Amino acid sequence: MSEKQLLKGNIAIAKAALNCGCSCYFGYPITPQTEIGEFLSLEMQERNLAYVCAESEIGAINMALGAASTGAKVMTSSSSCAVSLMQEALSYACSDELPIVLVNVMRAGPGQGYIFPSQGDYNQSTIGGGNGDYKIIVLSPSNVQECIELTYKAFYLAQKYRNPVILLADGLLGQMAEPAKLFDNPYPNIDNTSWILNGSNGRKSRSIHSLEPSQLKLNQHIFNLHKKYQAIEQNEVDYEEYLCDDADIIITSFGSLARHSKAVCNHYREKGIKMGLFRPKTLYPFPYKRLNELSKKTKLFIDIEMNLGQMLRDVRLSILSNAQVSFIGKPVGDWLKKEELINAIDNIAKEQYASI
């Protein structure tokens, strides 16, 4: 394991991708993730790997699909409004069962928005804008060390399930730097020799396509995909729980904003109020089951996001009518600060309990 370095989130993602054998990168520059492509443009050339600055985001992700069909470990990266352009290809990648890694370093929307950080693409990532019954694994890092860990995991899960994986970071995390260790990729390589298109010399030819004119076969294909998604939901749910066991109030929060939420928990704990934090690390598959269990013994949930309530929907679906759910959010820009959150929570709590 190497020593700690002061690493930007974007650079950490790029370095981790190289470390776990990413051999093709296709991208088109957009703030706040341009350093990923910039860094890789130098490093990949030196290592004789494929780096292409595509003509557009649509070009980039379709190149990624093509390269993935040959068995290469591929990545593309972009941000919010440009990830919108990739939705069609993501639907194809799910149907074609192509393992690609897409990094979305979120910026402000809707539309063009601006380069301010945001968490506004929760819905775009977890629900998606493409057509048909498909699911994409979505991983959400909250610090630079996790940018490295979850990049490794993204490549692994993409190969394991032959499915796209989105690493959903945000502009603040992409641009900020903090000490992190670049450790070796802990995941095994997945054998892909049964399906890749690497030349049919000596074997029966194969093809990868989503077009299927047989109703029977298309239904079967989608049922098979669905079974795979069920396995993902069974096996891959990941989350962080902080002081939730005895909590009367649990904050739900994801990504780098969850760190501010954790600071808020510490503030209330010091005052003797039992507050905890629940942070999903996989946004799909969402930890519905665990959150539902927690809702049976917790009075109040407060969902905090840098958007106007996107994960809130999944939180409510987990908690049902077991507990009260409140929401604090802001669409874009400077992260909701500890003091702002405490003010907002004091107001919520006043309505709920006279004691706070």
Partner 1 sequence: MNKSFIISGSGGQGVISIGQILANIFMLSNKFVSFCPCYGAEMRGGAVNCEINTSDSELLCLQNEKVDFVIALNQASFDKFLSKVKENGTIIVNSSLAKINKTRNDIKYIFAPITQEAIKLGNIKMTNSIALGILSKLIGELSIDNIKKAYERILKNKTELIQKNIEAYLFGFNSI
Secondary structure (3-state) at 315: helix
Is 172 a binding residue for partner 1 by CB under 8 A? The answer is: yes
Nearer to partner 1 (CB atom), residue 107 or residue 160: 107
> Among 68-76, 91-99, 177-185, 294-302, which window interacts with partner 1 (CB under 8 A)?
177-185
Name the segment binding partner 1 (CB under 8 A); options: 65-73, 227-235, 281-289, 335-343: 335-343
Question: Does 262 sit near partner 1 (CB under 8 A)?
Answer: yes
Q: Do 195 and 162 form a contact (C-beta atoms < 8 A)?
A: yes
Binding flag, residue 340, partner 1 (CB under 8 A): yes
CB-nearer residue toward partner 1: 221 or 259: 259
CB of residue 175 vs partner 1: minimum separation in angstroms? Answer: 5
Q: Which of the 8 DSSP states describes residue 177?
A: E
Q: Which residues contact 57 (CB under 8 A, 6 or more apart)?
A: 28, 30, 78, 82, 83, 85, 86
Quick check: 141 binds partner 1 (CB under 8 A)?
no
- Residue 255 — left, alpha, or beta (φ > 0 → left; ψ -120 to 50 → alpha)? left
175 forms part of the interface with partner 1 (CB under 8 A):
yes
Burial class (CB in 10 A: 0-12, 13-18, 19+), 205: exposed
User: What is the total count of residues that contact partner 1 (CB under 8 A)?
Assistant: 24
Q: Measure the CA–CA gap between 280 and 304, rounded to whole angstroms.
A: 12
Measured from the CB atom, the residue of 32 and 164 that comes closer to partner 1 is: 32
Contact flag: residue 6 with partner 1 (CB under 8 A): yes
Which value, in Å, is the radius of gyration of the alpha carbons in the chain? Answer: 21
What CA–CA distances, in Å, run from 321 to 7, 37, 176, 317, 325? 43, 46, 39, 9, 9
> According to CB under 8 A, which one of 50, 127, 177, 197 is a site residue for partner 1?
177
Is residue 38 a contact residue for partner 1 (CB under 8 A)?
A: no
Q: Choose between 137 and 172: whose C-beta lies nearer to partner 1.
A: 172
Residue type, 45: Q
User: Nearest approach, Cβ of 338 to partner 1 (angstroms)?
Assistant: 5
User: What's the burial of 172, exposed, middle or buried (CB within 10 Å: 0-12/13-18/19+)?
Assistant: buried
* Tokens standing for residue 242: 């902080």
- Is 31 near partner 1 (CB under 8 A)? yes
End-to-end, the C-alpha distance of the chain in Å comes to 46
List 176, 197, 218, 323, residue binding partner 1 (CB under 8 A): 176
- Residues 228/254, Cβ–Cβ less than 8 Å: no
* Region binding partner 1 by CB under 8 A among candidate stretches 64-72, 155-163, 167-175, 218-226: 167-175
Contact set with partner 1 (CB under 8 A) = 4, 6, 31-32, 115, 171-172, 175-179, 256, 259-260, 262-263, 266, 334-335, 337-340
